[in-house]
Amino acid sequence: MRRTLGRLAVATCSLSLLAVLAPASGTAGAAESHASTAKYGKRVGYFTQWGVYGRDYQVKDLDTSGQAAKLTHINYAFGNVNSAGECFTGNVPGEADAWADYVRPLDAENSVDGVADTDTQALAGNFNQLRELKAKHPGLKVLISLGGWSWSTHFSDAALTPASRKRFVASCIDLYIKGNLPADGARGGAGSAAGLFDGVDLDWEWPGSPGDTDTVYRPEDRKNFTALVHEFRTQLNAYAKSEAPRGKKARHYDLTAFVPAAPKAIDAGFDIPRIMRDFDFVNLQGYDYHVSGEAVTAQQSALFAPGDFSVDRTVRDWVRRGAQPRKLVVGMPFYGQGWTGVSGGGDGLGQPATGPAKGTWADGSEDYKVLKNLAASGAYTVHRDRWNGSAWLFDGTTLWTYDDPKVLATKSAYVRKLGLGGAMFWSLDADTADGELTAAVDKGLDGR
């Protein structure tokens, strides 16, 4: 369900362009306030619904690792859209997991507040733990992220007409913002998750462009996506106004999206000047620039890469098309892409390979916490391109391209220098037990 870019040719990016977007002193963007501590920029981390199983990464781990104290937003991945074009949940293998979301009871050891769930409480599972996490970390926001690579199947249909857009958005607000979860025994019911989610993150991959094998896309997706974004903004604002006490200012629900790096995908699906009016910010794809399914090894997330995909190129492509820098949040990977059977010698980069390297959860992909141990084992050599902001491991046969704290510190300084909106991480469960990568970005964004 991670995002995939594929191989496309791009024009050269120049380091000299840094000065073009660099803000004047004191105008680098509004500071964020989280847990009463001033911080520069958003820090957005994806929490994966399925990570509570094999990975055993629980919501409590966000607290004990120190990650929650450094985040401004948690994106809960993912909510799904059914064939009727509505947000839904349930216990449908491969489609929805209400058990993980709000049914599964947590014992005291795995609960944020140290208290075991009871059989009679309406909200349990990840949703209840996220509620407890927010209570412990005031100012931390939780957004429901809709779609992802595997669950963007029905977005195009849901966005097709004014009527379908209204129905789609209303269903998502009812389920997640109003918190009207389907009853499952004692769990769920009207308002059972009310107040948990602070907004919506749209992960339609991709409007107007091919995505997963069963994902529908149309030429008219571009205008329909623009209208869908506006419909979300309109309905979120209307609901906020309706729930505000008389004489009190309505709360603001965040509306964000995960957006692509490939220029063809950008142009096919995103009317940037219009959608950015309704979005609070967007999370830029900053990884999977090259993937382990390719025949030649390459960087997957370099800050600069003349003549190739890079973070800098992605930022400039969005700004060139009308995006405000302060609304661009840079995606940073907490995993690596790997190849094996690498031949040709040297440091392994740019060399032919026989296929994806063996990974813990999927071939060709590995968590940072595992790659850190490989680097420390002595079996691999750590290589760096300090000028272009990338790193990789190579043992003569297997290569992993990844971001470590040094690379993320460089990227964070870049975000701050250009007055961008902050950093996004996919995904939080791949960090170390003490949140090493999250801490590196937090320190870098604050200029420490």
pLDDT above 70: residue 163: yes
CA dihedral 78, 82, 84, 85 (to 10 degrees): 20
Q: State pLDDT tens for residues 109-133.
A: 999 999 999 999 999 999 999 999 9
- Residue 205 appears among annotated catalytic residues: yes
For residue 85, how far is the Cα from the chain centroid?
A: 23
Over residues 173-183, mean pLDDT: 98
What phi and psi values does residue 242 have, to the nearest 5 degrees? -70, -30
Is 8 a domain residue? no
pLDDT above 80: residue 441: yes
| pLDDT at position 385 | 96
Gap between the Cα atoms of 5 and 431, Å rounded? 23
Looking at the structure of the chain, the number of domains it has is 1
Is 70 a domain residue? yes
Is 109 a domain residue? yes
Block residue for tokens 């025949």: 295
Q: What is the domain extent for residue 141?
A: 15-334+404-445
Block residue for tokens 């995505």: 211
Q: State pLDDT tens for residues 96-105.
A: 999 999 999 9
Active-site entry in 205, 231, 366, 436: 205
Q: State pLDDT tens for residues 376-413.
A: 999 999 999 999 999 999 999 999 999 999 999 999 99
Gap between the Cα atoms of 7 and 262, Å rounded? 9
| pLDDT at position 448 | 82
Is 339 a domain residue? no
With bands split at pLDDT 50, 70 and 90, how would you rate the model's confidence at 38?
Answer: low
Is 75 a domain residue? yes
Q: Is 295 exposed, middle or buried (0-12, 13-18, 19+ CB in 10 A)?
A: exposed
Question: What amino acid occupies position 159?
Answer: A
Gap between the Cα atoms of 22 and 261, Å rounded? 21
Gap between the Cα atoms of 240 and 243, Å rounded? 5
Gap between the Cα atoms of 43 and 331, Å rounded? 10
List the CATH number of the domain containing 200.
3.20.20.80
Q: State pLDDT tens for residues 262-293.
A: 999 999 999 999 999 999 999 999 999 999 99
Buried-state track 242-252, b at ≥16 Cβ within 10 A, e below 16? eeeeeeeeeee
With bands split at pLDDT 50, 70 and 90, how would you rate the model's confidence at 28?
Answer: very low
For the chain, the three-class secondary structure string (H helix, E strand, C coil) is CCCCCCCCCCCCCCHHHHHHHCCCCCCCCCEEEECCEEEECEEEEEEEHHHHCCCCCCHHHHHHCCCHHHCCEEEEEEEEECCCCCEECCEECCCEEHHHHHHCCCCHHHCCCCCCCCCCCCCCHHHHHHHHHHHHCCCCEEEEEEECCCCCCCHHHHCCCHHHHHHHHHHHHHHHHCCCEEEECCEEECCCCCCCCCEEEEECCCCCCCCCCCCCCCCCHHHHHHHHHHHHHHHHHHHHHHHCCCCCCCCCCEEEEEECCCHHHHHHHCCHHHHHHHCCEEEECCCCCCCCCCCECCCCCCCCCCCCCCHHHHHHHHHHCCCCHHHEEEEEECEEEEEECCCCCCCCCCCECCEECCCCCECCEEEHHHHHHHHHHCCCEEEEECCCCEEEEECCCCEEEECCHHHHHHHHHHHHHCCCCEEEEECHHHCCCCCHHHHHHHHHHCCC
Gap between the Cα atoms of 173 and 155, Å rounded? 16
Gap between the Cα atoms of 76 and 113, Å rounded? 20
Is 315 a domain residue? yes
| pLDDT at position 233 | 98
Is 33 a domain residue? yes
Residues counted in the chain: 448
What phi and psi values does residue 33 have, to the nearest 5 degrees? -115, 120
pLDDT above 60: residue 21: no
Is 244 a domain residue? yes
| pLDDT at position 118 | 98
Contact in structure between 51 and 432 (CB atoms under 8 Å): no
Output the furthest CA–CA distance in the chain (Å, rounded).
Answer: 71
Over residues 317-338, mean pLDDT: 98
| pLDDT at position 84 | 98
